[in-house]
Amino acid sequence: MKGILATLITVVLSGVLCGATFAKPDNVEGVNVPQGRIPQEIKDNKYPRTYYPNTERLAKDEMRITAIGTGMPNQSPSNVAASFLVELGNGDAFLFDLGTGATDRLAGLEVDYSKLDKVFASHLHTDHVGDVASLWVSGWLNGRYTPLHVYGPSGATPELGSKAHIDHLRDAWAWDVTSRAGTLPNKGGEIVAHEFDFSKTAVIYDKNGVKIKTFPAIHIRDGSVSYRLDWNGLSFVFGGDSVPNKWFAKEAKGADVVVHECFFTPEQWMTIAGFPYKEAYWVTSQIHTPAEAFGKLMSMVEPRMAVAYHYWNHRDIELEIFERVRKTYDGPLTMSDDLTVLNVTKDHIEVREVTFNHESWPMGTSKEWDTAPRSEPATGLMSDWLNKGKLEGMVPAPTQSIE
């Protein structure tokens, strides 16, 4: 019986491998999608109940916002750390924060990594920028052939600013990045910091009809900000960590989608994390925005859709947070968890959840990635004595030209 089963497995695998083609995305109206996946046009706002990645064509006047991660630094399997992906009908894509674990969710979305070259960081906590290095390298491997650009605030001193943070990442991962030289496109191995003054309200990005403005946030120390993106008559506001403040109340006023943290109660934090009340109150109510304060802020801002995040979405926690929000805010509200997705047009907002294949692969590299300039492969980086430790005759000869 075992022999028959082994034969069947061999036959099936042989058929799969013989029929396989090299992993390359299909290009559908200028958008790279996984091979064989043809996105469909959504008509009359009739969206499927769930969003399966790369099955829907984003309309020219549409914005899609995906909550990649909505959790904490002490994350759980169901809540990775903070990150929101904004995709626009003009083909642009923007990441707002990229906390630890977020790149796992991006992999499930089978994204076009060549488009994920812009990260806007709200501040330098690990649950907001912990996966920047991961995207830098994984995006490079999976199709990005241009530098990764990271926009982020200054700090009280230069060493506490975003540029110093990125410079240290570059130094810390020198072993990794230099060892991939030649195999991967040269430019994709670069990471560029765009540091701006955290204390100023200013437009820091203005390209292709997209404007992104930054303004100060209040969170523990100097160097936290929030963002507003405006494009084609639609607007998205992203708040990292902050207590309610005058800048957010002004800049988020009347925006289409407003994302802001909505934190635990001290008692919930004591239950979750075991903190004594004094420390639990400090964390939940003096450096973050608790639920009642979130509601008051949204009542001032009056968005088309308020989005609450930055808490564990477990039912015993979420329902109490929701009830507290509703004491102070009665407008449109999404209690976001990981992989909540919002499709936004001028006359409609659709809120759903993403479903993806947990066995999914990257969509594959494009022809542009294949032909992007490369230097010589990373040879000569090992000591002679180490290189002489190879066992000869172990590796099969190539079956195709490698010249």
In-domain check, residue 23: no
- The answer as to whether 25 is a domain residue is no
pLDDT at 353 over 60: yes
**14: in domain:** no
Q: What is the pLDDT of residues 102-136, one digit of tens each?
A: 999 999 999 999 999 999 999 999 999 999 999 99
Is residue 9's pLDDT more than 60? no
Per-residue pLDDT, 19: 46
Domain count across the chain: 1
Closest to 324 in 3D by CA, of 284, 274, 351: 284
pLDDT tens per residue, range 178-225: 999 889 999 999 999 999 999 999 999 999 999 999 999 999 999 999
Q: Is the pLDDT of residue 319 over 70?
A: yes
Dihedrals phi, psi of 204, to nearest 5 degrees:
-110, -5
% of the chain exceeding 90 in pLDDT: 84
- What is the reported pLDDT for 239? 97
Q: Is residue 174 part of a domain?
A: yes
Residue 15: band (very low, low, confident or very high) from pLDDT cuts 50, 70, 90: very low
Segment 287-297 shows an average pLDDT of 97
> Is the pLDDT reported for residue 16 higher than 80?
no
What's the pLDDT score for residue 139?
97
Q: Residue 313's pLDDT band (boundaries 50, 70, 90)?
A: confident
- The pairing of strands 191-196 and 148-153 is parallel
Q: How confident is the model at residue 68 (pLDDT cuts 50, 70, 90)?
A: very high
Asked whether residue 21 is domain-assigned, the answer is no
CATH number for the domain that contains residue 203? 3.60.15.10
Task: Tell me what pLDDT residue 238 has.
Answer: 98
Residue 37 lies in a domain: no
> How would residue 74 be classed by pLDDT, with cut points 50, 70 and 90?
confident
pLDDT of residue 21: 55
Q: Average pLDDT for residues 85-114, to the nearest whole number?
A: 97
Q: What is the mean pLDDT of residues 298-305?
A: 98
Determine the pLDDT at residue 3: 53
Residue 384 lies in a domain: no
Q: Report the pLDDT value the prediction gives residue 379, as an integer from 0 to 100.
A: 82
Gap between the Cα atoms of 363 and 262, Å rounded? 35
Q: What is the domain extent for residue 352?
A: 51-377
87: CB partners within 8 A, 6+ apart: 58, 63, 64, 65, 66, 93
Residue 377's pLDDT is what?
84
Within 8 A by CB and 6+ apart from 143, the residues are 25, 32, 112, 113, 114, 362, 363, 364, 365, 366, 369
Mean pLDDT of 298-308: 98
The whole model's pTM is what?
A: 0.93
Residue 46 lies in a domain: no
Looking at the predicted structure, is the pLDDT value of residue 393 above 80?
yes
**Across the chain, what does the average pLDDT equal?**
93
Half-sphere exposure of 222 (CA within 13 A, CB side): 13
